[in-house]
Structures are given as structure tokens and as C-alpha cells.
Amino acid sequence: MSAGHDHALPSSTNERNLRWALGLTFTFLMAEVVGGVITGSLALISDAAHMFTDAAALAIALAAIRIARRPANARLTFGYHRFEILAAAFNALMLFAVALYILYEAWQRFGTPQDVQSGPMLVIATLGLVINLVSMRLLNAGKDASLNVKGAYLEVWSDLLGSLGVIVGALVIRFTGWTWIDSVIAVAIGLWVLPRTWVLLRSTVNILLEGIPEGMNLSEIDLALRAVPGVVDVHDLHVWSLTSNRPSLSAHIVHDPSMSEPASLLSALHRVLAERDIHHSTLQCETQACDQASPFCDLGDKHASAHRAEAGMDPNARPPP
């Protein structure tokens, strides 16, 4: 038995604002690459690489809104929601390559500093700051209602810091002539991108491997289900995520038929799961543990017990009624 739940998609206003922010970001991204080549500023090129993360995040957010609207079919029964995760994983791998290249190029320039045109560098970085401020303004209205939009908003916010760094570098070069500061700022931006990229890649791999969603504890969920009146045992418990912020759960529930009917029991169990932001679940009610008939259910039971033991709890513990 399962419970369905409609996940609201971002509004048309959010989609329109995402399109505007993407158009502004991508246009300036190209201008920053050209400007970095013309001025010889590695910091500008590094900031362009950082802005590429923003453009990619905005494009993924926009694509996820559109593709997620496609209905599930006989071949893709879960629909197209995981497209966001595949695109994010590809984006993370590309960003690793770009960040490593920036660090390598900066190392080379420390030995042979190049002339940097601080004037055009300052103008381009200032325009980038303005673009980031406009994009943040566009996304601000929807960031609290949609985690998808909030992620894009945070990407733009971090790039704003990169633009500030390039502006500082341009001013230092203009008044001191220290061209090596350009490479220092490029390294700083590269080191800023790498940890964020690693976090993104780790999160996408966890979802693709159907790991426990971040912020959830299997032991706590197991004990919460066991605390529902009428539940005798819980086994074969699995929690995973189809895509970001869409956790799913399946479990076998052994219940006492004299204490509750399956329908009322399921309603109570779904309420417990909803309190933990799990709105898509498949629960199999049993009056006798199925591990007597199938070794796979026995493995699931041991899996849940192991998690309770890791949490310092009695593997067979059940909260008092």
C-alpha cells in the first residue's frame, strides 16, 4: 500500500525570473571570458568559471521545472525528476576540471607574471557585480517557496563575492602595480569553487546510490514507526531520494490485527512519516514477519537492527506505548 503526494512545482513567476537571471548571467559570462583574454586577467577568467557554475545552476533549475512536468510513462514510471541529479553530477565534474585548470595556470603565472590591464578589468568586474545584484533581486521573491530557486539564489550570491574579489584585485594592481595579485585572487576563487563542487558531487552521488537523504536518520524513523499503536515490528526498511527534496520510503509493518485495522494503521503511519517530510511511501502490512518465508526480508530486518545498534540503542527496542 502506498501514499501519493503532489509536490508543488515553482510558479510561472519563478520560471520567468529564472529565465531572466539565466540570460543576464550567460551574456555576462561570455563578456567576462572575452574581457579576461583581452586584459590578460586570470582572475577575470577564474571569476567567469565561477559564473559558469551560476549559469549551470540556473539552467538546471529551469530545466528541472520544465522536465519534471512531463508525466511518468510505462518506461519511466518515476518520471523525469532524476534529470536534475544527472545534470548536477555532470556540472560538478566539469567544474572540477575548470577549477584545477585555473589553479595550474595561476601556478605557472607566479613564475612568469603577465601584464594585466587593470582599467578594463575593473570595469568588467563592476558590471559583473551589477548583474549579480539584479539576478539576486529577481530570485529573491521565490527563494523561500522553492528549494530549487533557493539553490540558484545561493549560487548567484557566492558569485557576487567573486566579483568583489576581482574588483579589489583590479584596484590593488592599478595603485601598486602588483600584477601577481591577479593570480592570488584567481587561486582564491578556484579554492572557493572546489569545496562547493565537492559538496555538490557528494550529494548527487548519494542520491544516485539511493543513500539515506541528508538530514534523515534511519534509526529515528524506525523507532517512530514502531511507536505507532498496533505495530509489532518493522523490517525491510529503506529510505532513499528520487531527486533532491523528494524522499521515499518502503517498509514491512508487522501489526496486531486485534489492536488496529490496516486502513487506520496506515493513516497513522503516513502521518508519522509526513512529520518527517516523507510523503511518498510504500508500506506492506503483515500479521506475521515475512522473514520466515523469504531470506531477503530477514536481511532487511538485520539491516534495521544494525542501524539501531549503531545509534547505541537496543537492536530489538520498541518505545513504550
What domains does the chain contain, in order, with CATH numbers? Answer: 2-208 (1.20.1510.10), 218-310 (3.30.70.1350)
> What is the share, in percent, of the chain residues with pLDDT greater than 90?
13
Q: What is the mean pLDDT of residues 221-238?
A: 92
pTM exceeds 0.85, yes or no? no
Sequence-distant (6+) residues with CB within 8 A of 63 are 83, 84, 87
Tell me the one-letter amino acid at 25. T
Residue 44 scores a pLDDT above 90: no
pLDDT digits (tens, 9 = 90+) for 89-147: 877 787 787 778 778 877 877 776 666 677 777 888 888 888 888 888 888 876 665 55
Provide the grid cell at 168. Answer: 579589489
CA separation for the pair 92, 235 (Å, rounded): 36
Q: What is the mean pLDDT of residues 12-40?
A: 81
pLDDT on residue 174: 84
pLDDT digits (tens, 9 = 90+) for 146-187: 555 666 776 777 677 777 877 888 888 888 888 788 778 778
DSSP-H helix ranges across the chain: 12-39, 42-68, 83-111, 118-140, 147-176, 180-208, 218-226, 262-274, 295-310
Residue 283, CA distances (Å) to 53, 95, 260, 280, 294 in order: 40, 40, 15, 10, 17
